Amino acid sequence: MKQDPKAELRVISRTEPPASKLNDSIVVLTAGGAVLCALVFAVALPLGGPLPLYGGALSLGLLLFGVAIRRYFTDRFPDIEAIELREIPDPDHADEPLSDVEALGPRRSFLKRALIASGALFGIGIAAPPIASLGPAPGGTLLRTAWRPGVRLVTNEGLPVQPDDLAMGGIASIWPQDAIGQERSSVLLLRLTTPPVAPTNLDWVVDNVVAYSKVCTHAGCPVALYREQDNALFCPCHQSTFDPSRGAVPTFGPAARALPQLPLGLDDQGYLVALDDFQAQVGPAFD
C-alpha cells in the first residue's frame, strides 16, 4: 500500500524570509524599466532611429527583465527543516519528495501580477516592430498577374503583335498592354516550326504561336534564351531547360514544373490577346 509522505512529515522549524521592500522595489523598478526599454525599441526601430539607441534599449530591456525575474524568486521559499519517517529500504517511494514546500503566496501576489503584466508589455514591445515590418499580407497578388481576358500582347515598345509578326522559329519578349515591365507578367512568345503537342493546351495556340511565362519555375530567373536547333527554352541561372513544343515541360536541370502557358487568342483586329490569366502558378512554387 502506498505511503503518504505528508502524513509522516514532521516539521521541526519553518522560517519565512522577511518581506524585503528593497527586493520588491527592485522587482517593480527593473520590470518597469524593461517595459520602458521595450517602448523605446518599439518606437525607435520603425522610425529609423540610430542603431545604438534601439539596440541599447533592447539589450538593456532584456537585462532588466532578467533581473526582475531573478529578484522575484529571491526569498520566495520558506526555510523549512523537517523529517519524514520511512521504512528503509523503501524502493517504491524512493523518488517521492521528502516534503512539499510551497512558495510564499499572498505577499507576492502583487509582484506576480506586476511581473506578468510587464512581461506581456515587454514581449509586445519587442515583437511589434519585426511584425509590423512584415508589411501588408500579399493576399492573392502572388497568384495573379496582369493578364486578363482581352489584354493585348505588346512588345517592349508597346506595339501590339499579330502571329505573322513572328518569323517561323522566332521568339519575342512580350508584356501585357497595360503592364509593360511587370516581370511576373512577362511572357515568351514563340512561333514553332512544327505544331506543338500535349501537354501543350492546343486551344491556347494560334498559328503555331504559343506563349509561356518567362519566370523560371525553379528560382524565378528570366528564361531568356531559346535554342532553335534543339527547340529548347533555357534558363541561364541553373541551366533548366524546357520544351516549348510540349507545354514547356522541364527536360533538364533543377526546375520541376513546366512554364505556365498563357491562354492565347485573337481580337477582332487580328492582334494576339490573352484569353485569361495563367492557369498555373507563375515562378517558384510557394504553396
Task: Check binding of 238 to ligand FES (CB under 6 A).
Answer: yes
Task: Check binding of 224 to ligand FES (CB under 6 A).
Answer: no
Stretch touching ligand FES by CB under 6 A, among 103-111, 173-181, 190-198, 249-257: 249-257
Phi and psi for 221 in degrees, rounded to 5? -65, 160
CA-wise closest residue to 261 among 194, 196, 191, 187: 187
For residue 51, count CB atoms less than 10 angstroms from its CB and return exposed for 0-12, middle for 13-18, buried for 19 or more: exposed
Stretch touching ligand FES by CB under 6 A, among 80-88, 112-120, 135-143, 237-245: 237-245
Dig out the grid coordinates for 264 from the structure.
492565347
Mark residues 6-45: x for contact with ligand FES by CB under 6 A, - for none.
Answer: ----------------------------------------
| Closer by beta carbon to ligand FES, 121 or else 216 | 216
- Cα(120)–Cα(127) distance, rounded to whole angstroms? 10
| Closer by beta carbon to ligand FES, 30 or else 241 | 241
Stretch touching ligand FES by CB under 6 A, among 24-32, 37-45, 162-170, 219-227: 219-227
Helix (H) or strand (E) holding 111: helix 109-132
- Cα(105)–Cα(78) distance, rounded to whole angstroms? 11
Residues in contact with ligand FES by CB under 6 A are 216, 218-221, 235, 237-238, 240, 253-255
